[in-house]
Amino acid sequence: MRIRSLQTTLLPWISLSLTFAAALATAADQPDIDDLKSRYYKEHPGKGKFSEHWQPIDIQKYWNPKDFYKPPASVPPIEASGKDCIGCHKALTPGAYHAWQKSAHARLNSIRMLDEKDSRFYKKEKLAEIEANLVRQGLLEENQMLDEVGCIDCHGKVGAESIDHVKELVMPDRAVCGTCHVQEFAEAESEKNQEWPQQQWGKGHPSHAVDWKANVENAVWAAMPQREIAQGCDMCHYQQNKCDGCHTRHTFSVAEARQPEACATCHNGADHNEFENYLLSKHGTVYQTQGRQWDFEVPLKDALGKGGYTAPTCQYCHFEFAGEFSHNLVRKVRWAFNPTPEIAKNLDHPWFEERKEAWTATCSHCHSATFAGSYLDTADRGTIQGIEVEQEAKKVVQALYDDGLLPGQKTNRPLPPKPESDSPGGFFQLFWARGNNPSRVERTYADMWEHDLIKLYKGLFHVNPGGFTYTEGWSELMRDYAEIMDENVRLRDKASEPAAAQKSSRTDTGQTFEVAGAAASDVGLRLVLGTSMVYGGLLLFRRNRKKK
């Protein structure tokens, strides 16, 4: 009985030792974390190429801790242990404490004891892999197990006994998370390797791996004096810096990160309404009506089987490539963030064709390959039809600018702040305005290409009919087109009028008031003269009656 009891006690730990040994072998095959971190920091853009034009405000230390974070000076200089951190923050920031307490980080032993029937069982192997990574880095002794991942491990150093709260406290970035999660860090960083065959986008763009770079190297973002407004872009464009955009601190739940709502904060709105399109598609309808029965604890590779998914999620489609799932989300990218003629005219290039085949394979997990291919063809052609409308309107607006016919172009068109440069219907005109820059026709065109055309494309590819036909997309493009053509005729008709006619029909505010004032004075004078004549006539009539 004692032997049997001893076996019962030892078997889980024997199993763990075997798992750990296997994990060591796996870790040896993983990317070198030192090399990953070195390249990550070397390639990080910091303040970007427009750094001289802007200064960070305090909140930005949380979006880019690498360059801006400094430990709080308000805290007295103390040497804090891991237990000290937990003891203080349980009282000071109870929300953060309780989120951590419920996380896998705080309950590592519960993972080790998971039964193979549990949908989280795969985490047992993942934990052993992480510990093997730390052994390889010299942060754990061989066969040593982590008790927990606490405050000090992320905000100080993995395995540290204590840190100087004023000098050594850090805000974790991607590389800190990568210390333990080497494979995920490497996959996410691999998005930077993407190269477009005709250089439609720069290397690695667009992706989460360079979204901060895309942010700080946007001219109007750097030019805006309203830094509190500009940092709204940072609140999404910081995935290059940190991992908590998807894995919300301090629970860092993978089950949460696998649900569509995890994408909603950033992927919504005027120029990338993916979340709304997904929810209003049939895929989203199924998720909203049946998703409560799905198990988001299972890995994505098991979602359609063990997970019980009956429709795809954002994560299922975009993490998958050739049957494998990873943190590289751009392996099937074709149209990218917004559709352009440079992409449209090259869709028959092998680079694009291969990615289309990969999408067809993904859709074929639920649909026939024929249906999937037919719909992707439809979405391609519909997007091209939208580009054709937008490009025709672009030529009209550009011609008005080149001919100097935009309202106020010769008298009241301030240049945008540096480093931005002037352009008709440019991106900067969505965020900056002075005088007649932008004019109404330019603003309409800016909305057309940066909002409505993109909505058409997103609606098509996320299979939301209202999102590309009537509610958004095509109907809005038709409105933009009509307004631009109408303004073009008005401005050109006005320019062709004789100079005298133009002078008499000027409608700027000062001239309107002047003309109106002159007209009012003329009417007043006529009234005074008329009244005087009538009054004089009455007096003469009364005098003649008295004489009679």
Annotated domain spans of the chain: 70-107+148-170, 363-502
Angstrom CA distances, 6 to 3, 10, 16, 462, stand at 5, 6, 16, 57
How far apart CA 422 and CA 416 sit, in angstroms, is: 6
The full 3-state SS of 264-281, as one line of letters, equals: HCCCCCCCCCHHHHHHHC
Which amino acid makes up residue 151? C
- Give residue 57's pLDDT: 97
- Give residue 536's pLDDT: 52
- Strand ranges (DSSP E) for 281-411? 320-321, 324-325
Q: Is 447 helix (H, G, I), strand (E, B) or coil?
A: helix
**Backbone conformation region of residue 472, classed left if phi is above 0, alpha if psi is from -120 to 50, else beta:** beta
Any bridge partners for residue 512, and if so which?
none
**Backbone conformation region of residue 423, classed left if phi is above 0, alpha if psi is from -120 to 50, else beta:** beta
Q: Is 173 helix (H, G, I), strand (E, B) or coil?
A: coil
Ranges under pLDDT 50 in the chain: 1-14, 507-529, 534-535, 538-541, 546-548
Q: Cβ-count burial of 199 within 10 angstroms (0-12 exposed, 13-18 middle, 19+ buried)?
A: exposed
State how far Cα 389 lies from the chain centre: 26
- In the numeric block, the tokens 């933009």 are attached to 480
- Give residue 7's pLDDT: 39
DSSP code, position 417? P
How far apart CA 190 and CA 60 sit, in angstroms, is: 26
- 8 Å CB contact between 104 and 123: yes
Query: What's the pLDDT tens digit per position in 439-468?
Result: 999 999 999 999 999 999 999 999 999 999
- Give residue 184's pLDDT: 97
- Give residue 11's pLDDT: 46
- Could you tell me which of 450, 448, 417 has the C-alpha nearest to residue 220? 417
- Give residue 24's pLDDT: 55
Q: Tell which CATH architecture fits domain 363-502.
A: Up-down Bundle (1.20)
How far apart CA 409 and CA 148 sit, in angstroms, is: 65
84-89: Cβ within 8 A, 24+ apart: 84/162, 85/150, 85/151, 85/152, 85/155, 86/150, 86/151, 89/151
- 8 Å CB contact between 304 and 365: yes
- In the numeric block, the tokens 């909203």 are attached to 288
- Give residue 517's pLDDT: 41
